[in-house]
Amino acid sequence: MHPSSESPDVVAANGGHSSVPAAEPDALSPCPNVEARFDDRPCWYPGEVMDIPVFAKDDDPVPVRFEDGGERSVPLKWIRRAPVSMPDPAWAPQSGERVEVYFAATSDAPRHWMTGIISHVEEGFHFINFPPHSGEHCQQMIFEKEHLRPVYEESPIDLTKLSRHLQPLPTELHNWAVSADGRACFLQVREQAALLQIQVRDGDKLLLLGTTEAIKRAELMLKVHIKHQKEIQVFQERRERRLKLLEERRVKYESSLTCEFEADQSVVGVMIGKSGENLARISKQFGVEIRVLPAGAEGSTHRIVRIFGESNDSVQAARQELEYLSHSYPVERNIWHWMLNQQGVSTNDLKRKTGVKQATYDDAQQCVVLQGKKAAIDDAIMLLDSHKEYFMVYENMNKESEEIQHRFEDLEVRAGPRGGPRGPRGGRGGRGRGLPEPGGSDASADADRGGANPEHGHGRGGPPRGGRGGPHYGPNQLPLRGGGGRGRGGPPRGGHRGRGSNGMMTAEGAA
């Protein structure tokens, strides 16, 4: 945009004159790194040098891109570095001072600065005269201070002090380098290192233009940025993947059938299985997804299990296969020992017969702790109930047996012991004839044979009537309490022979 060729009298301002439309103060964005002009007029357009040929001379044109997106070749002698700071707020332009005036972008031209001279200042308004160009008349316009800056006396770029360097970019940063975030980072490096330009070339390299010192500073800064950006890019990629997966799962869960149930903390390990193998098996078998949520409130003894599936049948089937319970079955210690020792019931036996995953006896609580699916636990309870009921039957049988045994013992006590006290030593059997049986024949033959009648006849002294002491047995073949006394006395098996013997001594008498 160039100043209008209208005469100063046509341009009105406040108090008799009017200012040319100008950019709002907040439209003054930070200046690019260079400003270029297209001819001899002092009209400077902000832009950035795209590249400098290796063997370029001062008069050789170099590509410059301007803020409107257009690109134009401009000789180096018409390119200067842009100011890096705004004017001092205390700066007060005076009449006759040369200043540069800001013109906002229009449809015809990007924003630019033009040099003029202050004619005079009235009530904060500056009347600026612009020198004529190519036969044009002198122009005068009115501006406020916010649109002015001191003339920037920067020499054209010195080609002899510039260097060109290509910095490789890591493969994982190629996409980042051409993103808005990457460009902002490079612009920061360009300003801080005082580079003329830094831009991506061929997608895998950075072009650095500037003095040797500026390029060296830029390389140091780029190493730091590249190191951190590699780590950030890894995080960003992982984050994007997780967000995508999260969205897929959200859609899946919202469209899936769901059921959930509580599981006791004690059965979670059994339910999940070693390294999650049980969950994986059930998920694959029924085509469902299973989630075991972390414990809720501190000290909670339950976990929430959620099952997602495409059909209600698959979800419920997975639940039946997965829902493990923990049940404490009360069994007194003496009953458990009876089951274990007399009936062969053990925890391994319970697991084998009923399919429960865990079965242990808690001696302190006197109960069998069962863990497994509901059906298996029900079977284990039924089996334990059956054994437990028979315990009372066996107890009654034992009590009846003991009662009968006591009755036999009491009967034996009333009848007296079978064994007697120790009797006198039996005499040596005599050789004489025994006394004849009343009303019978001579018994000598019996005596000679040892005596059919134990009361008389020949013979040596027989065993004592009481015999050796020992246990007595009742009719039920159970041992009775007590035993016969050890006795040695008693008559000889035959009749007594000799002096002082009494052949008429009977068994009753010996007793």
pLDDT digits 0-9 by tens, 134-151: 656 678 899 999 999 999
Instruction: Give residue 58's pLDDT.
Output: 65
Instruction: Give residue 146's pLDDT.
Output: 92
Q: Is 51 helix (H, G, I), strand (E, B) or coil?
A: coil
Instruction: Give residue 426's pLDDT.
Output: 52
Asked which of 24-28, 108-112, 273-277, 396-400 is least confident by mean pLDDT, the reply is: 24-28
Q: What is the reported pTM?
A: 0.43
Tokens describing residue 442: 């001579």
Contacts of 268-276 spanning 24+ positions with Cβ under 8 A: 268/292, 268/303, 270/324, 270/357, 270/358, 270/371, 270/372, 271/305, 271/322, 271/324
Amino acid occupying residue 403: E
Output 247 or 452, whichever has higher pLDDT. 247
Nearest to 263 by CA among 211, 202, 326: 326
Residue 432, pLDDT above cutoff 80: no
**For the residues 162-170, what does the mean pLDDT come to?**
89
Residue 492: band (very low, low, confident or very high) from pLDDT cuts 50, 70, 90: very low
Domain 25-150 architecture: Roll (2.30)
Instruction: Give residue 471's pLDDT.
Output: 47
DSSP 2: -
Q: Is 164 helix (H, G, I), strand (E, B) or coil?
A: strand
Instruction: Select 258-322's CATH number: 3.40.50.720, 3.40.50.1010, 3.30.1370.10, 3.30.70.920.
Output: 3.30.1370.10
Residue 478: band (very low, low, confident or very high) from pLDDT cuts 50, 70, 90: very low
The domain segmentation of the chain, as residue ranges, is: 25-150, 162-250, 258-322, 331-391
Q: Helix (H) and strand (E) counts for the chain?
A: 11, 21
Instruction: Give residue 425's pLDDT.
Output: 57
- List, in order, residues 6 or more apart from 450 with CB less than 8 Å away: 457, 458, 459, 493, 494
Residue 306, pLDDT above cutoff 70: yes
- List, in order, residues 6 or more apart from 217 with CB less than 8 Å away: 192, 193, 194
Residue 485: band (very low, low, confident or very high) from pLDDT cuts 50, 70, 90: very low
Please report where in the chains the tokens 């500056």 appear, as a residue. Answer: 126
Residue 419, pLDDT above cutoff 70: no
Which residues make beta-bridge pairs with 61? 75
Residue 483: band (very low, low, confident or very high) from pLDDT cuts 50, 70, 90: very low
Contacts of 165-169 spanning 24+ positions with Cβ under 8 A: 165/207, 165/208, 165/215, 165/219, 166/201, 166/205, 166/206, 166/207, 166/208, 167/205, 167/206, 167/207, 167/208, 167/219, 167/222, 168/204, 168/205, 168/206, 169/200, 169/204, 169/205, 169/206, 169/226
Instruction: Give residue 423's pLDDT.
Output: 53
Instruction: Give residue 112's pLDDT.
Output: 92
Residue 385, pLDDT above cutoff 50: yes
Residue 201, pLDDT above cutoff 90: no
How far is it, in rounded angstroms, from Cα 481 to Cα 370?
46
Nearest to 113 by CA among 187, 64, 60, 47: 47
Compute the 3-state secondary structure of the chain and give helix, strand, coil in percent, each to the nearest 5.
35, 25, 40
Residue 96: band (very low, low, confident or very high) from pLDDT cuts 50, 70, 90: very high
**For the residues 352-372, what does the mean pLDDT come to?**
87
Nearest to 485 by CA among 422, 399, 440, 441: 422
**For the residues 438-463, what does the mean pLDDT come to?**
43
Which residues make beta-bridge pairs with 73? 63
**For the residues 177-183, what does the mean pLDDT come to?**
89
Residue 6: band (very low, low, confident or very high) from pLDDT cuts 50, 70, 90: very low
**For the residues 424-434, what does the mean pLDDT come to?**
51
Q: What is the mean pLDDT of the chain?
A: 75
Residue 191, pLDDT above cutoff 60: yes
Output 108 or 117, whichever has higher pLDDT. 117
Residue 302: band (very low, low, confident or very high) from pLDDT cuts 50, 70, 90: confident
Output 53 or 175, whichever has higher pLDDT. 175
**For the residues 317-339, what does the mean pLDDT come to?**
85
Instruction: Give residue 14's pLDDT.
Output: 34
- Name the CA dihedral angle for 234, 240, 245, 248, rounded to a multiple of 10 degrees: -170
Count of alpha carbons within 13 Å of 250, Cβ hemisphere only? 6
**For the residues 66-73, what does the mean pLDDT come to?**
85
Tokens describing residue 144: 């406020």
Residue 447, pLDDT above cutoff 70: no
Q: Please tell me the CATH code under which domain 162-250 is placed.
A: 3.30.1370.10
Highest mean pLDDT among 219-233, 395-409, 436-450, 470-484: 219-233
Strand positions, DSSP E, 422-504: 471-473, 479-483
* Contact (CB, 8 A) for 454 and 507: yes
Common-topology check for domains 25-150 and 258-322: no
Tokens describing residue 308: 């997602």
How far is it, in rounded angstroms, from Cα 237 to Cα 421?
108
Highest mean pLDDT among 21-25, 83-87, 295-299, 310-314: 310-314
Q: Is 96 helix (H, G, I), strand (E, B) or coil?
A: coil
